[in-house]
Each structure stands twice: as C-alpha cells, then as structure tokens.
C-alpha cells in the first residue's frame, strides 16, 4: 500500500490548513492540520503555507509528436506539464500526420501512457488534414481507445459554415464538443499582429478583432440551432467576451477559454520586434486584457488554457515576418495566473481550481470515469482520485528557458520574476514532481 500525507496544506476554496492523506491513488482522508493519523510506512510532505489544488487539466496543449519531434515530444511536453502542476493535458491535433484518424489519436494516447508524467487525452481534427474540406473520422476517434471527445482544427478555423454545422451535428451523438479556432481567414490574410495604433506605427499588417468575433457569433448560433456544444479557443478580444456573455445569458451551449499570456501581455510588446511575442491570436490592447480578466472573474470565460506551442530555435530566432506563431506556457501558467488574477484580488484559489481543473475536465469529459479513462477535475474530497498540485504562493522565481523541461525556449516570460511556484504534483497518489524536482516513474513506488 502506498500512502502520502500532505501536512498542513490550505485546500483551494478553504481558509483552514488541513492534512490530506493519499492512499493507493485516491484521497483517503482529510483532517485539521496535524490531526491526521499517519499509517506505518507513510511518507509525509510538509505543506505548511502551500495551496493544494486538484491536479490541473490543460484543455489546449501542443505536444508536436508525431512528426515535429524537433520542437517537442510527448515525453518532454508531459515532463513540462508535470513541472507546471498539470496532471492531464489535451493534445492538439496539428501534428504530422494530423490526428484525424483513430490510428493517430491512439498513438498519441499510447505515447502519453508510456511517458507516465501525466494523462494525455488527444484532440481529434475536425477536418481531414485540417484542410477544412471534409469531415475527419470523428466517430472512429470517439470510439477508439483514446475516447476522443474534443475536436478541433486549432491553428486553422473551420471557416465553412456548412461544414461546421455538420461537425456539430456529428459530435452530438457521443457528447463531443467542437473547439473552434475563431479566425476568419479572409479578414486576416497576411496579418502579423493586432490591428490598431501599434500596427499602424510599425507598418505591420493588422489582425482585426472582428475576424475573431464574427466567427464566434456565427458558431454559437449554429451550436444553438443543432443543439450541440461549441467551445471557443483562446478568446482574445473584449468584443468576443461580450458575444460569449450574451450567448450564455441566452442559455446557448458555449464555453470559452483564455490563455495566461493574453491576461498579462499587450500589443505594446511588439514594438520590440521580438518574435517571441508573435502568437495566434495576437496580443491585443490593455482594454482587451482588462475585459478578459473580468470575464474570467465573473465566469463568462470558463477555462484558462495554456496553448503551449513550442518551436525549435530557428523558427523564432529570425525576423518578425518569418517567425512562427506561438509561445510555451505549461511551466509558467499558474504563476502568471497568480500574478494576473489572484494577487489582484479578482480570483480566489477555489476559482482558480474551477478554471484550471474542474471546467476543462468537464468540457473534455475527462471527469467521466464511465469512459474507461482516468478521471480528473473532481476535487479533493475523500474517495476522489488523488491528483494534487501543491503551489507555494509566497515563492518568487525568475524564468530561465534553459532550466525548463520543454524543448521550446520561446517563453515570453524569460528573465521575468513571477510570483508563486509549483513545488509538487501527484498523479493518482504518486509524485511526478516533489520539492520542485521531477520524480522518474521508476522511483515513485
């Protein structure tokens, strides 16, 4: 029998310090700090001053494998996830080959199991090859060993309204969700950054807010029309927030996510011409950042997701126009969220747990053990799976790309001092990270 006792942690959503007992993969006990019985042979963690969150669940991760192992592998990406406090990630479909068949999603799922750092739930492509011409094998992926429930052409928008309608109708049969990359392709042809004052000064082609907002408005109406679920990836504008808020007030079946970087960075960063700030969707204005923070606080935005997008050095160490879009984020996400939302008083840790564990698990149906996969996002009540993230809110650390687990060095926070740091991650009651250091699978007995 394997037992860990986490001494004196403050469980997210509670002000009291408690002992958490993890036995054979489940939360077997909670007691006031210092009061838990410690079984013989149990190992303890001094968690005084730490916040205990249910294991984080990322709804939007790019692991790059198969096909782009020069940028990231399932092994390195999930090591980064464990270091960042994540116990499950949804791996996006824009691999090579694209994850548009049962064979590819099962391969990604198997690679995650073999790596052993966190649970990997593949996202299936909506269309064959992400080309937006015909639907992929949605049913085959849903009934595969990977039990896919989230489908997305992320990186590309499903721009054809008829095809989007057909996808929504199809996934309804198995309670799936279409996660849309909201970007009108015609309105963003050649776009390099947010359209506004800064783009005008720099002479870079602008990416208008309406290119995102028009697609969201269309898709929430389509989802309501067919009675299916739609999820909006990486919302970035104040106008998008208002559309999602109005849709929710009308009871339409829409959920939405925001990235940590869109909660703190603005298009002013682009004045540096540093390609690390080139991302899709682009960094927006301070007004947009304010609206996004408020939307997370009031629940209009359900999920904070990383959109972790590692690239090889040569893809970013070049001139702005030639650089790839994307940023890494698995290892900095919780610290950035603390800075943007917790330290500003907009969210408590209980709400952080809701946005970074419960909601993403619910949207991806990763909280449903009936699917035959490991359940996540169900909280830290006795009897629930022992996925736990221990976070030190008093810590301060400087981001050094070379010290991170991901292969991608393209973090916009390099050299920046952030508040709070993940110190331990438990997956099914076994530590993948302890005292800030990764624990190899063969040392977790």
Q: Which of 81, 118, 71, 139 is nearest to 324 (CA)?
A: 71
- Measured from the Cβ of residue 122, the count of other Cβ atoms closer than 10 Å reads 28
Tell me the C-alpha distance between 227 and 236, whole Å: 26
Tell me the C-alpha distance between 238 and 213, whole Å: 9
CA-to-CA separations, 250 to 65, 221, 230, 236, 245, in angstroms, rounded: 40, 11, 15, 22, 9
Q: Is 17 helix (H, G, I), strand (E, B) or coil?
A: strand
Q: Which of 292, 285, 316 is nearest to 194 (CA)?
A: 285
Tell me the C-alpha distance between 248 and 241, whole Å: 11
Q: Which of 307, 367, 368, 392 is catalytic?
A: 307
Q: Is 119 annotated in the active site?
A: no
Helix (H) or strand (E) holding 422: strand 417-427
Tell me the C-alpha distance between 261 and 333, whole Å: 8
Q: Which residues neighbour 211 within 8 Å (Cβ) at sequence distance 6 or greater?
A: 183, 184, 187, 188, 191
Place of tokens 């969707």: 281
Q: Where are the alpha helices (DSSP H) in 99-208?
A: 102-115, 138-142, 161-172, 197-202
Phi, psi torsion values for 189, nearest 5 degrees:
-60, 125
Q: Which residues neighbour 11 within 8 Å (Cβ) at sequence distance 6 or greater?
A: 18, 20, 30, 51, 52, 380
Tell me the C-alpha distance between 111 and 22, whole Å: 27
Phi, psi torsion values for 59, nearest 5 degrees:
-85, 0
CB 162 within 8 A of CB 226: no
Tell me the C-alpha distance between 98 and 78, whole Å: 19
Tell me the C-alpha distance between 236 and 184, whole Å: 14
Q: Which residues are catalytic?
A: 307
């Amino acid at each position: 029998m394997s037992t860990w006792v986490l001494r004196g942690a403050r469980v997210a959503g509670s002000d009291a310090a408690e002992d958490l007992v993890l036995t054979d993969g489940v939360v077997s006990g909670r007691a006031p700090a210092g009061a838990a019985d410690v079984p013989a042979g149990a190992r303890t963690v001094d968690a005084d001053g730490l916040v205990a969150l249910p294991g984080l669940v990322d709804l939007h991760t790019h692991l790059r494998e198969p096909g782009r192992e020069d940028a990231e592998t399932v092994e390195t990406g999930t090591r980064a996830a464990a270091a960042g406090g994540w116990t499950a990630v949804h791996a996006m479909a824009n691999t090579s080959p694209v994850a548009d068949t049962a064979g590819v999603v099962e391969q990604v799922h198997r690679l995650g199991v073999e790596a052993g750092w966190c649970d990997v739930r593949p996202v299936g492509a909506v269309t064959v090859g992400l080309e937006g011409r015909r639907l992929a094998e949605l049913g085959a992926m849903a009934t595969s060993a990977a039990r896919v429930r989230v489908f997305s052409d992320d990186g590309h928008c499903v721009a054809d309204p008829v095809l989007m309608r057909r996808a929504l109708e199809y996934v309804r049969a198995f309670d799936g969700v279409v996660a849309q990359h909201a970007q009108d392709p015609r309105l963003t042809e050649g776009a390099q950054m947010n359209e506004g004052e800064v783009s005008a000064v720099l002479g870079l082609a602008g990416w208008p807010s309406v290119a995102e907002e028009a697609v969201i408005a269309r898709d929430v109406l389509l989802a309501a029309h067919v009675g299916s679920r739609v999820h909006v990836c990486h919302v970035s504008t104040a106008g998008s927030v208002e559309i999602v808020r109005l849709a929710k007030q009308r009871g339409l079946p829409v959920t939405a996510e925001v990235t940590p970087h869109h909660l703190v960075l603005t298009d002013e960063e682009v004045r540096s011409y540093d390609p690390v700030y080139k991302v899709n969707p682009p960094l927006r204005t301070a007004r947009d950042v304010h609206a996004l923070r408020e939307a997370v606080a009031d629940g209009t935005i359900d999920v904070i997701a990383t959109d972790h997008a590692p690239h090889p050095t040569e893809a970013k160490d070049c001139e702005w126009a030639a650089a790839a879009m994307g940023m890494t984020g698995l290892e900095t996400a919780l610290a950035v969220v603390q800075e943007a939302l917790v330290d500003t008083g907009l969210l408590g840790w209980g709400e952080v747990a809701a946005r970074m564990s419960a909601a993403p698990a619910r949207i991806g149906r990763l909280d449903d053990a009936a699917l035959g996969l490991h359940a996540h996002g169900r909280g830290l009540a006795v009897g629930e799976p022992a996925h736990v993230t221990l976070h030190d809110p008093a810590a301060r650390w400087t981001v050094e790309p070379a010290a991170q687990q991901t292969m991608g060095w393209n973090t916009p926070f390099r050299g920046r001092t952030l508040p709070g740091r993940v110190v331990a991650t438990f997956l099914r009651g076994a530590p993948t990270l302890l005292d800030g250091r990764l624990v190899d699978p063969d040392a977790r007995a």
